[in-house]
Structure 1
Amino acid sequence: MAAPNTLPEWNALAALGDDELPLLDTALLIARDEYPDLEPGGYAAQMESYAETLRPQLDGDIDLPARLTAINRYLFEELGFAGNNLQYDDPRNSYLNEVVDRKLGIPISLAVVQIEVTRRLGMPLDGVSFPGHFLVRLPVDDGILVLDPYNKGRPVSAEELRERASPHMGGHPPDDQQLLQILAPATNRAILMRMLRNLKGLYLEQRDWERVARTADRLLKLSPGTAEAVRDRGLAYRELGYAKGAREDLARYLQMLPEAEDGEGVRAALVDLSGVPARVN
């Protein structure tokens, strides 16, 4: 864990285990790329303040679902955290400092707030990398309780989960075993990488090549063997005129995935770059 007003070093993260990565600190590290003056200590203190406010409400012999209901009421009704329906594609929804300041986010960033607060209260809430829409889960006596942080933490039934998953599985709803696999807890690394992929996707749509290169590079700091991040950084470098970096990344991508579906296009990009002189960037 970093000191209150410091954050971990990017180059140290790949060596950490998937759940050794500090979730809040690394999410703030992602945000600091966009907001270099960010003061991380204030956001950690904010999470602790939320937990301290909730502790008296959770005293007594109440079960986990009832405790979580109280937490969600506080976060989503009293504090007003909400999904940003009007500007879902606003990158600020993925930067945790903005999410806390504006009380607006997307499913995964709201889930990080929910997870950070509940874990401070000793509750085993985990993220779920559900297809299309990030969720959270809590173990209960008869199974798991799945909740939707984008919709004020409301419970999601097994039938609704099957319906949501179906379009991502060729139109076929998952059976019980498949659904359990989909609902497996997401590691901190998986959560942070999904946050970065969301940002990279937004910046690709905007053709903001500097930020595409940056988010792809950060993905590689978390997981150096991520082929799509190598490719996207290389393509961004090409657009930015950094031919040497583009050639290295695109060639590495083809080495990693020689049978890639987009291999022909990547090879064509490499041919186009073959005569471009290198320049320092």
Structure 2
Amino acid sequence: MEQTKEIAALLHLIDDPDDEVYSQVSEKIISLGKEIIPNLEHLWETTADEYTQERIEMLIHSLHFRDLQMDLKAWANDKEHDLFTGALLISRYQYPDLNLLTYYQELEKMRRNVWLELNSFLTSLEKVNVLNNILFNYYKIKGTEINYSHPDDFLVHKLVEAKKGNAIPIGILILSMASLLDINLYMINIPRQFILAYFDDDPENNTGTEFPPEHIQFYMDGASGQIFSHKDVETYFKRISVPPTPSYFKALNNKRIIQRMLEEYAKCFDNEKNAYKKNDLLSLAAQLNESDE
């Protein structure tokens, strides 16, 4: 952004010790939009005072965050709200300059490798096994335990780059591939797990009240691709002393999956220094609720 007298005056006031003055200055700077970020970055590079640098960093963060809020709102209001896109938007919280096109291209390469191995004579289980084989054996994707001290393990772009992540981004990658390949995998709401289920028809028709749900053929672990039976799932519910009620076996829509991702990712910043990040991410999750109203 061109350095006008007004902008120069605003930047000069960033280090003002009066909190009220700084509050007004920061609001005005943020209202100018992300075009002012290069000016702020130049100021940061030419400022020796650490306190002023911290203020500049927070202003840049606030500008990126406002941009992300608008993009996530647009995604949620789009009738498609593509799952892979939603996950990449979450990556942009920590990596605001992410080039999304790069990851769409990688997803398409993965999709094509699976598609070449599929044919109309395969059973549903065989199709899922082909998908698993390409992701876990050909691409060597490795699942990790949920660890809130490793925030990058929650991000789908890091999974695509490093072929390593926890059940959340791996499950989202599997679901994204399945959607492109017309494989009926969906995420369900089993407690404390990121579990996918293969539905033999439209999951909207899954209105049964009995266990096992009649429209689910089998289950799949999001981190490893391991296949589970109804008996395995029933055993899990007995182990955690929770009855397998119908609500746990309904397919979650993409907004709910991204909302859950945000809520889990927020736990990575559960300390005083990063409290603002936790609040940001939870506010994005709440924003997805508002988009349903």
Instruction: Tell me, yes or no, whether TM beats 0.5.
Output: yes
For 2:222, the equivalent position in structure 1 comes to 149
CA distance in 2, matches of 1:139, 1:14: 24
CA distance in 2, matches of 1:13, 1:120: 18
The one-letter code matched in structure 1 to 2:222 is P
| Structure 1 segment 66-215 matched on structure 2, within 5 A | 66-85=126-145, 87=147, 89-140=149-200, 143-144=215-216, 145-151=218-224, 153-166=225-238, 171-174=241-244, 178=245, 180-204=246-270, 208-215=274-281
Question: How big is each residue's C-alpha offset from its partner over 1:173-214, in whole Å with a ceiling of 9 and x where there is no partner?
Answer: 43xxx1x43121111011000000001122125752121121
For 2:72, the equivalent position in structure 1 comes to 10
For 1:222, the equivalent position in structure 2 comes to 288
Could you say what the CA RMSD is over the residues aligned between the two structures, in angstroms?
A: 2.6
Q: Point out the more displaced range, 190-199 or 211-220.
A: 211-220
Query: What are structure 1's unaligned runs of at least 5 residues?
Result: 1-6, 227-281
CA distance in 1, matches of 2:131, 2:257: 21
The one-letter code matched in structure 2 to 1:132 is R
Distance change in 2, residues 1:101/1:206 (3 Å): farther
CA distance in 2, matches of 1:60, 1:225: 38
State the 4+ residue runs in structure 1 displaced beyond 6 angstroms.
none
Question: How big is each residue's C-alpha offset from its partner over 1:47-75, in whole Å with a ceiling of 9 and x where there is no partner?
Answer: 11111112221124112211111110111
Structure number with bigger Rg: 2
CA distance in 2, matches of 1:87, 1:63: 35
The one-letter code matched in structure 2 to 1:199 is Y
The number of residues matched between the two structures is 211
For 1:25, the equivalent position in structure 2 comes to 85
TM-score, normalisation: structure 2: 0.65
TM-score, normalisation: structure 1: 0.68
Distance change in 2, residues 1:123/1:116 (3 Å): same
SS at match of 1:58: coil
Q: Point out the more displaced range, 66-75 or 198-207.
A: 198-207
CA distance in 2, matches of 1:85, 1:196: 17
Query: What are structure 2's unaligned runs of at least 5 residues?
Result: 1-67, 202-213
Q: Percent identity?
A: 21
The one-letter code matched in structure 2 to 1:184 is K
CA distance in 1, matches of 2:163, 2:190: 23
Q: After TM superposition, give the deviation of residue 79 of structure 1 in Å.
A: 0.8
SS at match of 1:9: helix
* Residue pair 2:73, 2:291 contacting (<8 A) in 1 also: no
